[in-house]
Structure formats: structure tokens, C-alpha cells
Amino acid sequence: MFIADRLLSSLVGIGLLMGAMTMPCFAFDTQNEVKEDSSPFALFKFGFSAYKNGHKDEAVKALRFAAEKGHQGANWKLARMYAEGDGVKEDDYEAYKMFEQVVQEGADQGTENESYVADALVALAGYVKRGIPNSPINSNPGAARDLYLQAASNFGDSDAQFELGKMLMKGEGGQPNPNQAARWFRLSAQKGNAGAQAMLGNLLFQAGKTVRGLAMMTAALEHANKQDRVWIGDIQEQAFSLADEADRRTAMVLAEDIIKTGDF
């Protein structure tokens, strides 16, 4: 979740600087207990700083206090830590409950809490889609599709738009709808989601728009993360093998232009 953590950094960074003069003096030291009577935001700032400096035990402690006092960002960060086994033992059901609380609290339009709620919706959708073993959360693709739709529509979340597009393509949780899938892929692709860019390119390729489709898949492969490069590389290579030499050359030139401009 590199994007989520970069988002958290940007939201908190200004607060860390502006609040430095008034922030309670905590040390990253087990001898210096975090004060439970500190404000939720002060606890959150301390927890965030402790986390960034590798003091995750102290971070969890401060974030938990902040979450108990109603700080939504602290609750979200704790959920992420439990989901990823980051500083705590991995516990998907515990993470699910925390993400659910973030969603239930909601967010006012235009506030930083919107990003927490959007990410929590995507996380909940993933859990609901596959289910959580040894918990009350069973696989329910239809409910997962609804959660992705909520995050995609209400918050414009690119990951939700991508995942919703895939479900619509495959007919998971409802009837397949390739046209709607392509719409969501395009919206996500325009936000820089490499997976959506590749899927949209593949759809164009299959629809006979060989050069454009191959160029989009090639450009997506260029900036995809390590995990996505595997499957994007597979579909790009397959398309490349089916295209004739002239289309390949034209597509490579167009891909370079797409990479430079970011215009998908």
C-alpha cells in the first residue's frame, strides 16, 4: 500500500510542522509513556512520527489511544498495520472491524477523512469478495461489488474503479457488463492506475484497435509495480505476438508518447 502511505504522509506532514511547537514532548522510549490525556491529534502525530522512525510498538500504542478518542486517521492506520502485519501480528478480521468503523464514521465532503473512508471501502470490498477464514466474514461478491461501486462513485477512488471494472468484465457479483467495465477502466487509467491502463488497452486491442491497444499496454507495463508487471507483461507479450511488424513499430512510438504525456 505504498500509495496509501504516501497519502498519509502528505496529509500529516503539514500538521507535523505546524504543530511542532505545541506538540507534547514524547521520546521514542518505553520509559516515557504516551500520555492518554493528550489530544487525539497530538497522539496521532506522535504515532505517525514513531512509525516513520521505526518505533512501531510506540506507534501502535499512540495510535490506539488516538483511535479510542475518535481520530479517524489513527483508526485507519491501525487497520492498515493489522491488514499487513506491519508492527503487529497480521489479523484480517481485526483490520476488517477497524476499516468498517472508519466507513461508518464517514467523512464530510472536501475533508482529509474522505481518503481514509475511500481506502477503507476498498479494503472492506476485498475482504468481502474473498471472505476471511475463521471469522463471520464470508465471501459475498455481490456485496463486494457494491462497496467498490460506492468508493468508485462517491470518492473517485482509482483502485475501486479498477477492481469494479474487473468484476464487471468477469460478471462477478452480478451480470457482466463490458461497456461499463471499459468506462471504469478509463476513469481509473486517467488517474494513473497501470492495471486499468493495461486492461483498457487489452479491450481496445481485442476490439480491433491494434496500435492504440498495444501502445497502452506497453506504456502501462513501463510504470507498473513489480507485482502488476507480471500479468501486464503476459497480456502485452501475447498482443505483441499477434500484431504485425508495422503495427508493432507504430505502437512502440505511440507508447513512448503516452509515457511522456501521461495521456491514456
Three-state secondary structure string covering 88-108: CCCCHHHHHHHHHHHHHHCCC
User: What one-letter code names the amino acid at 105?
Assistant: E
The model's pTM is 0.84
Q: How many CA atoms lie within 13 A of 49 on its CB side?
A: 21
Residues in the chain with pLDDT values less than 70: 1-36
pLDDT tens per residue, range 149-185 = 999 999 999 999 999 999 999 999 999 999 999 999 9
Distance CA 197, CA 232 (A): 10
Q: What is the pLDDT of residue 36?
A: 63
Q: What is the pLDDT of residue 258?
A: 94
Q: What is the pLDDT of residue 219?
A: 97
Residue 219: name the closest of 241, 206, 200, 238 by CA.
200
